[in-house]
Chain A
Amino acid sequence: MSIQLENVSYTYGVGTPFEKTALRNVTMEISSGDFVGIIGHTGSGKSTLVQMLNGLLHPTMGQVTVNGMDIRQKSKAAMDMRHKVGMVFQYPEYQLFEETVAKDIAFGPRNMGLTEEEIEQRVKEAMEFVHLDYEEYGNRSPFRLSGGQMRRVAIAGVIAIHPEYLILDEPSAGLDPVGREEIFSEVQRWHEEKNITVILVSHNMEDISRLANRLIVLDHSEIILDGEPLEIFAKQQDLLHRAGVSVPPVTEVLQYLQGRGLPVEDRVRTVEEAAASIYAGVRGNTHAH
Protein backbone atom coordinates (compact mmCIF):
# COMPACT_ATOMS: atom_id res chain seq x y z
CA MET A 1 0.00 0.00 0.00
CA SER A 2 1.39 3.41 -0.92
CA ILE A 3 0.86 6.74 -2.61
CA GLN A 4 2.88 6.92 -5.78
CA LEU A 5 3.80 9.92 -7.89
CA GLU A 6 5.19 9.23 -11.34
CA ASN A 7 6.83 12.05 -13.30
CA VAL A 8 4.38 14.49 -11.81
CA SER A 9 4.43 18.13 -12.85
CA TYR A 10 1.98 20.88 -12.06
CA THR A 11 1.65 24.23 -13.76
CA TYR A 12 -0.72 26.97 -12.62
CA GLY A 13 -2.49 29.16 -15.16
CA VAL A 14 -1.53 27.18 -18.28
CA GLY A 15 -1.89 29.36 -21.37
CA THR A 16 -2.11 32.64 -19.42
CA PRO A 17 0.61 35.26 -18.84
CA PHE A 18 0.75 34.03 -15.21
CA GLU A 19 1.78 30.49 -16.13
CA LYS A 20 3.98 29.13 -13.35
CA THR A 21 5.35 25.66 -12.80
CA ALA A 22 4.93 24.74 -9.13
CA LEU A 23 6.18 21.17 -9.34
CA ARG A 24 8.55 19.67 -11.87
CA ASN A 25 8.89 16.01 -12.73
CA VAL A 26 8.49 14.52 -9.25
CA THR A 27 8.67 10.76 -8.82
CA MET A 28 8.34 9.32 -5.34
CA GLU A 29 6.53 6.82 -3.21
CA ILE A 30 5.10 7.28 0.27
CA SER A 31 4.77 3.86 1.82
CA SER A 32 2.15 2.82 4.30
CA GLY A 33 3.45 3.36 7.85
CA ASP A 34 5.85 6.20 6.99
CA PHE A 35 6.05 9.43 8.97
CA VAL A 36 7.23 11.87 6.33
CA GLY A 37 8.30 15.47 6.95
CA ILE A 38 8.20 17.91 4.05
CA ILE A 39 10.11 21.20 4.24
CA GLY A 40 10.95 23.99 1.85
CA HIS A 41 10.68 27.78 1.65
CA THR A 42 7.41 29.57 0.83
CA GLY A 43 6.64 28.91 -2.82
CA SER A 44 8.87 25.85 -3.13
CA GLY A 45 5.92 23.64 -4.09
CA LYS A 46 5.03 21.96 -0.76
CA SER A 47 1.35 22.86 -0.76
CA THR A 48 0.95 21.97 -4.43
CA LEU A 49 2.55 18.60 -3.75
CA VAL A 50 0.31 17.68 -0.83
CA GLN A 51 -2.85 18.88 -2.57
CA MET A 52 -2.14 16.35 -5.31
CA LEU A 53 -1.96 13.49 -2.85
CA ASN A 54 -5.72 13.54 -2.31
CA GLY A 55 -6.84 14.82 -5.68
CA LEU A 56 -7.52 18.45 -4.76
CA LEU A 57 -5.22 19.21 -7.66
CA HIS A 58 -4.59 16.88 -10.58
CA PRO A 59 -1.15 16.81 -12.20
CA THR A 60 -0.64 18.70 -15.47
CA MET A 61 1.64 15.81 -16.41
CA GLY A 62 2.25 12.43 -14.82
CA GLN A 63 0.10 10.31 -12.53
CA VAL A 64 -0.80 10.03 -8.84
CA THR A 65 -2.02 6.69 -7.53
CA VAL A 66 -3.29 5.85 -4.06
CA ASN A 67 -3.03 2.14 -3.23
CA GLY A 68 -2.72 1.54 -6.95
CA MET A 69 -5.83 3.55 -7.94
CA ASP A 70 -5.51 6.54 -10.25
CA ILE A 71 -7.37 9.22 -8.25
CA ARG A 72 -8.00 11.41 -11.27
CA GLN A 73 -10.85 9.14 -12.28
CA LYS A 74 -14.44 10.10 -11.45
CA SER A 75 -15.57 6.59 -10.49
CA LYS A 76 -17.03 5.78 -7.05
CA ALA A 77 -13.95 3.65 -6.30
CA ALA A 78 -11.62 6.57 -7.01
CA MET A 79 -13.74 8.88 -4.82
CA ASP A 80 -13.64 6.33 -2.00
CA MET A 81 -9.88 6.12 -2.36
CA ARG A 82 -9.59 9.91 -2.03
CA HIS A 83 -11.38 9.59 1.31
CA LYS A 84 -8.47 7.44 2.48
CA VAL A 85 -6.29 10.55 2.34
CA GLY A 86 -7.26 13.08 5.01
CA MET A 87 -5.95 16.60 4.84
CA VAL A 88 -5.71 19.14 7.65
CA PHE A 89 -5.05 22.55 6.11
CA GLN A 90 -3.09 25.42 7.61
CA TYR A 91 -5.09 27.20 10.30
CA PRO A 92 -7.92 24.66 10.07
CA GLU A 93 -9.76 26.45 12.89
CA TYR A 94 -10.82 29.08 10.34
CA GLN A 95 -12.69 26.41 8.42
CA LEU A 96 -15.06 25.41 11.20
CA PHE A 97 -18.57 26.41 10.21
CA GLU A 98 -21.24 24.39 12.01
CA GLU A 99 -23.40 25.38 14.98
CA THR A 100 -21.96 22.73 17.26
CA VAL A 101 -18.69 20.89 17.63
CA ALA A 102 -20.38 17.50 17.05
CA LYS A 103 -22.08 18.67 13.82
CA ASP A 104 -18.81 20.07 12.52
CA ILE A 105 -16.96 16.81 13.08
CA ALA A 106 -19.90 14.87 11.56
CA PHE A 107 -19.64 16.74 8.25
CA GLY A 108 -17.05 14.39 6.69
CA PRO A 109 -18.62 11.08 7.76
CA ARG A 110 -22.05 12.36 6.66
CA ASN A 111 -20.70 13.13 3.18
CA MET A 112 -19.39 9.58 3.03
CA GLY A 113 -23.00 8.41 3.34
CA LEU A 114 -22.72 6.68 6.72
CA THR A 115 -25.79 5.99 8.88
CA GLU A 116 -26.68 8.27 11.81
CA GLU A 117 -25.45 5.67 14.34
CA GLU A 118 -22.17 5.23 12.53
CA ILE A 119 -21.73 9.01 12.31
CA GLU A 120 -22.34 9.48 16.03
CA GLN A 121 -19.90 6.67 16.78
CA ARG A 122 -17.22 8.29 14.64
CA VAL A 123 -17.77 11.73 16.19
CA LYS A 124 -17.42 10.32 19.71
CA GLU A 125 -14.32 8.39 18.79
CA ALA A 126 -12.70 11.37 17.04
CA MET A 127 -13.43 13.64 20.01
CA GLU A 128 -11.98 11.12 22.38
CA PHE A 129 -8.92 11.00 20.18
CA VAL A 130 -8.31 14.74 20.46
CA HIS A 131 -9.17 14.74 24.18
CA LEU A 132 -12.38 16.76 23.96
CA ASP A 133 -15.15 15.41 26.17
CA TYR A 134 -18.24 14.60 24.05
CA GLU A 135 -20.73 15.41 26.80
CA GLU A 136 -19.07 18.70 27.66
CA TYR A 137 -18.12 20.03 24.22
CA GLY A 138 -20.33 18.18 21.71
CA ASN A 139 -23.16 20.70 21.84
CA ARG A 140 -21.05 23.83 22.21
CA SER A 141 -20.44 26.31 19.44
CA PRO A 142 -16.97 25.72 18.00
CA PHE A 143 -16.48 29.48 17.87
CA ARG A 144 -16.57 29.74 21.65
CA LEU A 145 -13.48 27.56 22.10
CA SER A 146 -9.84 28.58 22.50
CA GLY A 147 -7.60 28.54 19.42
CA GLY A 148 -5.95 25.26 20.43
CA GLN A 149 -9.32 23.60 21.08
CA MET A 150 -10.68 24.83 17.74
CA ARG A 151 -7.72 23.33 15.97
CA ARG A 152 -8.34 20.02 17.72
CA VAL A 153 -11.97 20.07 16.56
CA ALA A 154 -10.77 20.62 13.00
CA ILE A 155 -8.34 17.71 13.27
CA ALA A 156 -11.10 15.52 14.76
CA GLY A 157 -13.20 16.31 11.67
CA VAL A 158 -10.51 14.73 9.49
CA ILE A 159 -9.82 11.84 11.88
CA ALA A 160 -13.55 11.00 11.71
CA ILE A 161 -13.27 9.98 8.06
CA HIS A 162 -10.75 7.30 9.15
CA PRO A 163 -7.98 8.25 6.76
CA GLU A 164 -5.18 5.78 6.05
CA TYR A 165 -2.97 8.72 5.11
CA LEU A 166 -3.07 11.90 7.19
CA ILE A 167 -1.64 15.10 5.71
CA LEU A 168 -0.97 17.94 8.15
CA ASP A 169 -0.02 21.35 6.75
CA GLU A 170 1.70 23.41 9.49
CA PRO A 171 -0.44 22.01 12.32
CA SER A 172 1.57 23.69 15.08
CA ALA A 173 1.89 27.24 13.69
CA GLY A 174 1.01 29.76 16.38
CA LEU A 175 0.66 27.18 19.15
CA ASP A 176 2.63 27.24 22.40
CA PRO A 177 4.72 24.21 23.45
CA VAL A 178 1.82 22.66 25.38
CA GLY A 179 -0.57 23.02 22.42
CA ARG A 180 2.02 21.57 20.07
CA GLU A 181 2.60 18.62 22.36
CA GLU A 182 -1.17 17.97 22.62
CA ILE A 183 -1.54 17.77 18.87
CA PHE A 184 1.60 15.81 18.13
CA SER A 185 1.22 13.26 20.91
CA GLU A 186 -2.20 12.43 19.42
CA VAL A 187 -0.87 12.23 15.89
CA GLN A 188 2.01 10.05 17.01
CA ARG A 189 -0.33 7.71 18.88
CA TRP A 190 -2.59 7.43 15.83
CA HIS A 191 0.51 6.74 13.71
CA GLU A 192 1.73 4.00 16.05
CA GLU A 193 -1.52 2.35 17.13
CA LYS A 194 -3.40 2.42 13.83
CA ASN A 195 -0.35 2.37 11.58
CA ILE A 196 -1.66 5.48 9.86
CA THR A 197 0.76 7.16 7.45
CA VAL A 198 1.53 10.78 8.34
CA ILE A 199 2.75 13.49 6.00
CA LEU A 200 3.78 16.59 7.95
CA VAL A 201 4.48 19.90 6.22
CA SER A 202 6.22 22.29 8.58
CA HIS A 203 8.59 25.20 9.00
CA ASN A 204 9.30 23.91 12.49
CA MET A 205 12.43 21.81 12.09
CA GLU A 206 12.29 20.70 15.70
CA ASP A 207 8.92 19.00 15.16
CA ILE A 208 10.22 17.31 12.01
CA SER A 209 13.40 15.95 13.59
CA ARG A 210 11.50 14.74 16.65
CA LEU A 211 8.73 12.94 14.74
CA ALA A 212 9.55 12.07 11.15
CA ASN A 213 11.47 9.01 9.97
CA ARG A 214 11.87 10.43 6.49
CA LEU A 215 12.49 13.98 5.30
CA ILE A 216 11.76 15.44 1.89
CA VAL A 217 13.21 18.85 1.00
CA LEU A 218 11.71 20.87 -1.84
CA ASP A 219 13.41 23.74 -3.61
CA HIS A 220 12.30 25.52 -6.78
CA SER A 221 9.58 22.96 -7.56
CA GLU A 222 11.85 19.92 -7.26
CA ILE A 223 12.77 17.39 -4.60
CA ILE A 224 16.41 18.08 -3.73
CA LEU A 225 16.82 15.81 -0.71
CA ASP A 226 14.98 12.70 0.47
CA GLY A 227 16.28 10.67 3.38
CA GLU A 228 16.65 10.15 7.10
CA PRO A 229 16.06 13.50 8.90
CA LEU A 230 19.03 13.41 11.31
CA GLU A 231 21.34 12.36 8.49
CA ILE A 232 20.17 15.30 6.35
CA PHE A 233 20.38 17.82 9.20
CA ALA A 234 23.90 16.58 10.04
CA LYS A 235 25.38 16.42 6.55
CA GLN A 236 23.49 18.72 4.21
CA GLN A 237 23.69 22.15 5.85
CA ASP A 238 24.81 23.82 2.62
CA LEU A 239 21.99 22.40 0.50
CA LEU A 240 19.46 23.15 3.25
CA HIS A 241 20.68 26.71 3.49
CA ARG A 242 20.47 27.17 -0.26
CA ALA A 243 16.92 25.78 -0.17
CA GLY A 244 16.00 28.49 2.35
CA VAL A 245 15.41 26.15 5.29
CA SER A 246 17.40 25.57 8.42
CA VAL A 247 18.37 22.86 10.89
CA PRO A 248 16.48 22.48 14.23
CA PRO A 249 17.59 24.95 16.96
CA VAL A 250 19.20 22.18 19.00
CA THR A 251 21.20 20.94 15.98
CA GLU A 252 22.26 24.52 15.25
CA VAL A 253 23.72 24.90 18.76
CA LEU A 254 25.53 21.54 18.52
CA GLN A 255 26.98 22.37 15.11
CA TYR A 256 28.12 25.73 16.45
CA LEU A 257 29.87 23.93 19.32
CA GLN A 258 31.51 21.57 16.83
CA GLY A 259 32.75 24.63 14.98
CA ARG A 260 34.38 25.79 18.20
CA GLY A 261 36.26 22.49 18.32
CA LEU A 262 34.15 20.64 20.87
CA PRO A 263 33.77 16.91 20.16
CA VAL A 264 29.96 16.70 20.27
CA GLU A 265 27.62 14.47 18.26
CA ASP A 266 24.96 16.49 16.38
CA ARG A 267 22.65 13.63 15.43
CA VAL A 268 20.12 14.15 18.22
CA ARG A 269 16.36 14.67 18.32
CA THR A 270 15.81 16.41 21.66
CA VAL A 271 17.42 18.87 24.09
CA GLU A 272 17.82 15.95 26.50
CA GLU A 273 19.87 13.97 23.97
CA ALA A 274 21.84 17.11 23.14
CA ALA A 275 22.77 17.60 26.81
CA ALA A 276 23.94 13.98 26.95
CA SER A 277 25.97 14.48 23.77
CA ILE A 278 27.69 17.60 25.12
CA TYR A 279 28.26 15.93 28.47
CA ALA A 280 29.94 12.95 26.81
CA GLY A 281 32.02 15.26 24.62
CA VAL A 282 33.19 17.50 27.45
CA ARG A 283 33.88 14.62 29.84
CA GLY A 284 35.85 12.75 27.18
CA ASN A 285 37.83 15.89 26.58
CA THR A 286 38.57 16.45 30.27
CA HIS A 287 39.75 12.87 30.74
CA ALA A 288 42.06 13.15 27.77
CA HIS A 289 43.89 16.08 29.35
Chain B
Amino acid sequence: MSIPMIKLDHMSHSYTDEEGKQVYAVRDVSLSIQTGEFVAIIGTNGSGKSTLAKHFNVLLVPTEGTCEVCGMRTDDPDLTWDIRQKVGMVFQNPDNQIVAAIVEEDVAFGPENLGVPSEEIKKRVKAALERVNMTQYAHHGPHLLSGGQKQRIAIAGILAMQSQCIVLDEPTAMLDPIGRKEVMDTIHQLNAEGITVILITHFMEEAVTADRVVVINHGRLQMDGKPRDIFTHVRELKDMGLDVPVSAELALRLREKGISLDGTIITKEELGDALCQYS
Protein backbone atom coordinates (compact mmCIF):
# COMPACT_ATOMS: atom_id res chain seq x y z
CA MET B 1 0.00 0.00 0.00
CA SER B 2 1.24 3.49 -0.81
CA ILE B 3 2.20 5.98 1.88
CA PRO B 4 -0.96 7.61 3.31
CA MET B 5 -1.51 11.36 2.91
CA ILE B 6 -2.14 11.65 6.66
CA LYS B 7 -1.32 9.04 9.28
CA LEU B 8 -1.99 9.51 12.99
CA ASP B 9 -0.66 6.94 15.43
CA HIS B 10 -2.09 7.12 18.97
CA MET B 11 -1.93 10.89 18.67
CA SER B 12 -2.96 13.13 21.57
CA HIS B 13 -2.87 16.86 22.15
CA SER B 14 -3.10 18.09 25.71
CA TYR B 15 -2.54 21.38 27.49
CA THR B 16 -2.53 22.59 31.07
CA ASP B 17 -5.48 24.77 32.03
CA GLU B 18 -5.38 27.76 34.39
CA GLU B 19 -5.91 25.53 37.42
CA GLY B 20 -2.97 23.33 36.47
CA LYS B 21 -5.07 20.42 35.27
CA GLN B 22 -4.04 18.49 32.17
CA VAL B 23 -6.78 18.70 29.55
CA TYR B 24 -6.87 16.54 26.42
CA ALA B 25 -8.29 18.29 23.34
CA VAL B 26 -7.46 15.23 21.24
CA ARG B 27 -6.92 11.85 22.82
CA ASP B 28 -5.34 8.71 21.40
CA VAL B 29 -6.50 9.06 17.82
CA SER B 30 -5.20 6.62 15.21
CA LEU B 31 -6.30 7.34 11.65
CA SER B 32 -5.05 6.99 8.07
CA ILE B 33 -6.28 9.12 5.20
CA GLN B 34 -5.23 7.91 1.75
CA THR B 35 -4.33 10.11 -1.20
CA GLY B 36 -7.46 11.06 -3.15
CA GLU B 37 -9.95 10.45 -0.36
CA PHE B 38 -12.76 12.90 0.53
CA VAL B 39 -13.16 12.73 4.30
CA ALA B 40 -15.70 14.70 6.34
CA ILE B 41 -14.94 15.27 10.03
CA ILE B 42 -17.94 15.99 12.23
CA GLY B 43 -18.28 16.65 15.97
CA THR B 44 -19.80 19.19 18.35
CA ASN B 45 -18.21 22.55 19.22
CA GLY B 46 -15.30 21.78 21.50
CA SER B 47 -15.09 18.12 20.42
CA GLY B 48 -11.51 18.63 19.24
CA LYS B 49 -12.10 18.35 15.50
CA SER B 50 -10.42 21.67 14.67
CA THR B 51 -7.52 20.89 17.01
CA LEU B 52 -7.15 17.58 15.22
CA ALA B 53 -7.12 19.24 11.79
CA LYS B 54 -4.52 21.81 12.85
CA HIS B 55 -2.03 18.94 13.18
CA PHE B 56 -2.33 18.18 9.47
CA ASN B 57 -0.28 21.21 8.45
CA VAL B 58 1.77 21.67 11.59
CA LEU B 59 -0.18 24.53 13.17
CA LEU B 60 0.01 22.17 16.16
CA VAL B 61 2.27 19.23 16.93
CA PRO B 62 1.19 16.18 18.97
CA THR B 63 1.97 16.10 22.68
CA GLU B 64 1.86 12.29 22.52
CA GLY B 65 1.93 9.88 19.59
CA THR B 66 2.74 10.93 16.05
CA CYS B 67 1.29 12.64 12.99
CA GLU B 68 2.80 11.95 9.56
CA VAL B 69 2.03 13.72 6.30
CA CYS B 70 3.18 11.80 3.21
CA GLY B 71 5.51 9.88 5.49
CA MET B 72 7.02 13.05 7.04
CA ARG B 73 6.75 13.41 10.81
CA THR B 74 5.24 16.75 11.80
CA ASP B 75 7.34 17.00 14.98
CA ASP B 76 10.51 17.33 12.90
CA PRO B 77 10.98 21.12 12.56
CA ASP B 78 13.12 20.66 9.44
CA LEU B 79 10.09 19.23 7.60
CA THR B 80 7.52 21.88 8.61
CA TRP B 81 7.70 23.84 5.34
CA ASP B 82 7.69 20.72 3.17
CA ILE B 83 4.56 19.54 4.95
CA ARG B 84 2.81 22.91 4.66
CA GLN B 85 3.43 22.82 0.94
CA LYS B 86 1.64 19.46 0.77
CA VAL B 87 -1.35 20.41 2.91
CA GLY B 88 -3.19 23.72 2.71
CA MET B 89 -5.89 25.01 5.05
CA VAL B 90 -9.04 27.04 4.44
CA PHE B 91 -10.77 28.58 7.44
CA GLN B 92 -14.30 29.64 8.28
CA ASN B 93 -14.10 33.40 7.86
CA PRO B 94 -13.34 34.32 4.24
CA ASP B 95 -12.35 37.86 5.21
CA ASN B 96 -9.54 36.72 7.50
CA GLN B 97 -7.52 34.90 4.86
CA ILE B 98 -7.16 37.44 2.11
CA VAL B 99 -3.85 39.31 2.12
CA ALA B 100 -3.64 41.21 -1.18
CA ALA B 101 -5.66 43.96 -2.85
CA ILE B 102 -6.03 42.14 -6.19
CA VAL B 103 -7.31 38.58 -6.57
CA GLU B 104 -4.39 37.27 -8.65
CA GLU B 105 -1.84 38.77 -6.23
CA ASP B 106 -3.61 37.04 -3.37
CA VAL B 107 -3.40 33.70 -5.15
CA ALA B 108 0.30 34.37 -5.92
CA PHE B 109 1.15 35.02 -2.26
CA GLY B 110 1.88 31.36 -1.41
CA PRO B 111 4.17 30.51 -4.35
CA GLU B 112 5.95 33.88 -3.98
CA ASN B 113 6.87 32.93 -0.44
CA LEU B 114 8.17 29.59 -1.69
CA GLY B 115 10.54 31.46 -4.01
CA VAL B 116 8.93 30.20 -7.22
CA PRO B 117 10.20 32.11 -10.33
CA SER B 118 7.73 34.78 -11.46
CA GLU B 119 7.01 33.28 -14.90
CA GLU B 120 6.09 30.01 -13.19
CA ILE B 121 3.94 31.90 -10.64
CA LYS B 122 1.93 33.50 -13.45
CA LYS B 123 1.24 30.10 -14.96
CA ARG B 124 0.25 28.61 -11.63
CA VAL B 125 -2.06 31.51 -10.71
CA LYS B 126 -3.79 31.32 -14.07
CA ALA B 127 -4.27 27.55 -13.78
CA ALA B 128 -5.45 27.79 -10.15
CA LEU B 129 -8.05 30.47 -10.95
CA GLU B 130 -9.30 28.34 -13.83
CA ARG B 131 -9.70 25.33 -11.60
CA VAL B 132 -11.92 27.23 -9.15
CA ASN B 133 -13.75 28.95 -12.00
CA MET B 134 -12.67 32.47 -10.96
CA THR B 135 -10.59 33.52 -14.00
CA GLN B 136 -12.87 36.44 -14.81
CA TYR B 137 -12.22 37.93 -11.36
CA ALA B 138 -8.38 37.84 -11.61
CA HIS B 139 -8.07 41.64 -11.56
CA HIS B 140 -10.86 42.38 -9.09
CA GLY B 141 -10.45 43.61 -5.54
CA PRO B 142 -11.21 40.67 -3.21
CA HIS B 143 -13.41 42.87 -1.00
CA LEU B 144 -15.94 43.12 -3.84
CA LEU B 145 -16.41 39.35 -4.03
CA SER B 146 -19.12 37.28 -2.34
CA GLY B 147 -18.25 34.91 0.51
CA GLY B 148 -18.33 31.86 -1.76
CA GLN B 149 -16.03 33.57 -4.26
CA LYS B 150 -13.59 34.56 -1.49
CA GLN B 151 -13.41 30.96 -0.29
CA ARG B 152 -12.70 29.82 -3.85
CA ILE B 153 -9.86 32.37 -3.99
CA ALA B 154 -8.48 30.90 -0.75
CA ILE B 155 -8.65 27.44 -2.35
CA ALA B 156 -6.92 28.77 -5.49
CA GLY B 157 -4.08 30.05 -3.28
CA ILE B 158 -3.54 26.50 -2.04
CA LEU B 159 -3.66 25.06 -5.56
CA ALA B 160 -1.03 27.60 -6.66
CA MET B 161 1.30 26.09 -4.05
CA GLN B 162 0.66 22.74 -5.75
CA SER B 163 -0.58 21.23 -2.50
CA GLN B 164 -2.04 17.76 -2.78
CA CYS B 165 -4.37 17.97 0.18
CA ILE B 166 -6.84 20.67 1.26
CA VAL B 167 -8.15 20.83 4.82
CA LEU B 168 -11.26 23.01 5.13
CA ASP B 169 -12.45 24.01 8.61
CA GLU B 170 -16.15 24.88 8.31
CA PRO B 171 -15.59 26.74 5.03
CA THR B 172 -19.31 27.30 4.43
CA ALA B 173 -20.46 28.35 7.93
CA MET B 174 -20.65 32.04 6.98
CA LEU B 175 -21.95 31.63 3.45
CA ASP B 176 -25.39 31.95 1.89
CA PRO B 177 -26.93 28.90 0.15
CA ILE B 178 -25.43 29.80 -3.24
CA GLY B 179 -21.98 30.36 -1.75
CA ARG B 180 -22.19 27.01 0.03
CA LYS B 181 -23.04 25.25 -3.21
CA GLU B 182 -20.17 26.99 -5.07
CA VAL B 183 -17.64 25.86 -2.48
CA MET B 184 -18.99 22.29 -2.30
CA ASP B 185 -19.04 21.96 -6.11
CA THR B 186 -15.48 23.26 -6.28
CA ILE B 187 -14.05 20.87 -3.70
CA HIS B 188 -15.86 17.90 -5.24
CA GLN B 189 -14.44 18.78 -8.63
CA LEU B 190 -10.91 19.11 -7.19
CA ASN B 191 -11.33 15.78 -5.42
CA ALA B 192 -12.33 14.20 -8.75
CA GLU B 193 -9.06 15.60 -10.13
CA GLY B 194 -7.12 13.78 -7.42
CA ILE B 195 -6.83 16.31 -4.58
CA THR B 196 -7.30 14.84 -1.11
CA VAL B 197 -10.07 16.74 0.71
CA ILE B 198 -10.64 16.87 4.46
CA LEU B 199 -13.80 18.81 5.29
CA ILE B 200 -14.81 19.80 8.81
CA THR B 201 -18.48 20.73 8.84
CA HIS B 202 -21.64 21.13 10.91
CA PHE B 203 -23.82 20.64 7.83
CA MET B 204 -24.74 16.99 7.56
CA GLU B 205 -26.06 17.55 4.02
CA GLU B 206 -22.41 18.29 3.15
CA ALA B 207 -20.91 15.41 5.13
CA VAL B 208 -23.20 12.92 3.41
CA THR B 209 -21.48 13.71 0.08
CA ALA B 210 -18.04 12.57 1.36
CA ASP B 211 -16.45 9.14 0.73
CA ARG B 212 -15.90 8.72 4.43
CA VAL B 213 -17.10 10.33 7.66
CA VAL B 214 -15.07 10.56 10.87
CA VAL B 215 -16.92 11.41 14.09
CA ILE B 216 -14.93 13.06 16.91
CA ASN B 217 -16.45 13.17 20.39
CA HIS B 218 -14.70 14.51 23.50
CA GLY B 219 -11.38 14.43 21.66
CA ARG B 220 -11.66 10.77 20.70
CA LEU B 221 -12.37 9.11 17.39
CA GLN B 222 -15.87 7.76 17.95
CA MET B 223 -16.92 6.48 14.52
CA ASP B 224 -15.21 6.12 11.15
CA GLY B 225 -16.93 4.76 8.05
CA LYS B 226 -18.89 5.42 4.89
CA PRO B 227 -21.66 8.03 5.22
CA ARG B 228 -24.25 5.28 5.11
CA ASP B 229 -22.61 3.38 7.97
CA ILE B 230 -22.41 6.54 10.08
CA PHE B 231 -25.69 8.35 9.38
CA THR B 232 -27.92 5.34 9.92
CA HIS B 233 -26.88 5.60 13.60
CA VAL B 234 -29.37 8.41 14.11
CA ARG B 235 -29.84 7.93 17.86
CA GLU B 236 -26.13 7.67 18.73
CA LEU B 237 -25.34 10.81 16.74
CA LYS B 238 -28.22 12.72 18.35
CA ASP B 239 -27.06 11.61 21.78
CA MET B 240 -23.63 13.05 20.97
CA GLY B 241 -25.37 16.36 20.19
CA LEU B 242 -25.01 16.06 16.42
CA ASP B 243 -27.50 16.42 13.60
CA VAL B 244 -28.15 13.82 10.92
CA PRO B 245 -29.35 14.34 7.32
CA VAL B 246 -33.10 15.08 7.36
CA SER B 247 -33.92 12.04 5.21
CA ALA B 248 -32.14 9.66 7.60
CA GLU B 249 -34.05 11.05 10.56
CA LEU B 250 -37.37 10.97 8.69
CA ALA B 251 -36.79 7.32 7.74
CA LEU B 252 -36.12 6.44 11.38
CA ARG B 253 -39.21 8.31 12.63
CA LEU B 254 -41.39 6.63 10.01
CA ARG B 255 -40.02 3.21 10.96
CA GLU B 256 -40.91 3.99 14.57
CA LYS B 257 -44.44 4.80 13.44
CA GLY B 258 -44.68 1.32 11.94
CA ILE B 259 -43.86 2.00 8.31
CA SER B 260 -41.38 -0.66 7.25
CA LEU B 261 -38.60 1.24 5.51
CA ASP B 262 -35.08 0.05 4.79
CA GLY B 263 -32.60 0.91 7.56
CA THR B 264 -30.01 2.27 5.11
CA ILE B 265 -31.84 5.38 3.85
CA ILE B 266 -29.82 8.62 4.10
CA THR B 267 -30.82 10.70 1.05
CA LYS B 268 -34.12 12.15 -0.18
CA GLU B 269 -33.86 10.07 -3.37
CA GLU B 270 -33.62 6.86 -1.36
CA LEU B 271 -36.50 7.97 0.86
CA GLY B 272 -38.58 8.77 -2.24
CA ASP B 273 -37.81 5.37 -3.80
CA ALA B 274 -38.75 3.53 -0.62
CA LEU B 275 -41.99 5.47 -0.07
CA CYS B 276 -43.10 5.09 -3.68
CA GLN B 277 -42.66 1.34 -3.41
CA TYR B 278 -44.45 1.32 -0.10
CA SER B 279 -47.62 2.89 -1.41
Contacts and interface: CB of A to CB of B under 8 A. Distances in A.
A51 to B, nearest CB: 17
A250 B174 CA distance: 21
A146 B178 CA distance: 30
24 contacts: A40-B176, A41-B179, A42-B147, A91-B93, A144-B18, A175-B45, A176-B202, A176-B241, A176-B243, A179-B45, A203-B176, A203-B177, A245-B177, A250-B250, A253-B247, A253-B250, A253-B268, A253-B271, A256-B269, A257-B272, A271-B246, A274-B246, A278-B250, A279-B259
Contacts of B235: none
Interface in B228-279: 241-243, 245-247, 249-250, 253-254, 257, 259, 268-269, 271-272, 275-276, 278-279
A42 B176 contact: yes
Interface string A240-281: 000011100110110011001110000000011011001100
Contact of B254 (A249, A278, A286): A278
B276 A262 contact: yes
Nearest to A177: B243
The bracket for how many chain A residues form the interface is: 35 or more
B161 interface: no
A173 B173 contact: yes
Contacts of B276: 260-262
Interface residues of B, number: 40
Nearest to B276: A260
Contacts of A261: 276
A278 B242 contact: no
B202 A249 contact: no
B275 A262 contact: yes
Interface in A154-180: 170, 173-179
B46 interface: yes
Contacts of A275: 250, 253-254, 257
A205 B170 CA distance: 18
Interface in B205-244: 205, 241-243
Interface of B: 18, 43-46, 92-93, 146-148, 170, 173-179, 202, 205, 241-243, 245-247, 249-250, 253-254, 257, 259, 268-269, 271-272, 275-276, 278-279
Nearest to B170: A174
Contact of A256 (B43, B178, B268): B268
Contacts of B271: 253, 257
Report the 6 A-B pairs with minimum CB-CB distance, sorted nearest first. Answer: A275-B253, A285-B279, A246-B177, A178-B241, A176-B44, A174-B173
Interface of A: 40-43, 90-91, 144, 146-148, 170, 173-179, 203, 205, 244-246, 249-250, 252-253, 256-257, 260-262, 271-272, 274-275, 278-279, 282, 285-286, 289
Nearest to B255: A275
A257 B268 contact: yes
Nearest to A255: B268
A282 B272 CA distance: 11
Contacts of B245: 249
Nearest to A46: B176
A176 B45 contact: yes
A31 B276 CA distance: 45
B18 A249 contact: no
A175 B43 CA distance: 11
B173 A253 contact: no
Nearest to A18: B144
Given A147-B46, A257-B272, A286 B279 contact: yes
Contacts of B254: 275, 278-279, 282
A203 B269 CA distance: 24
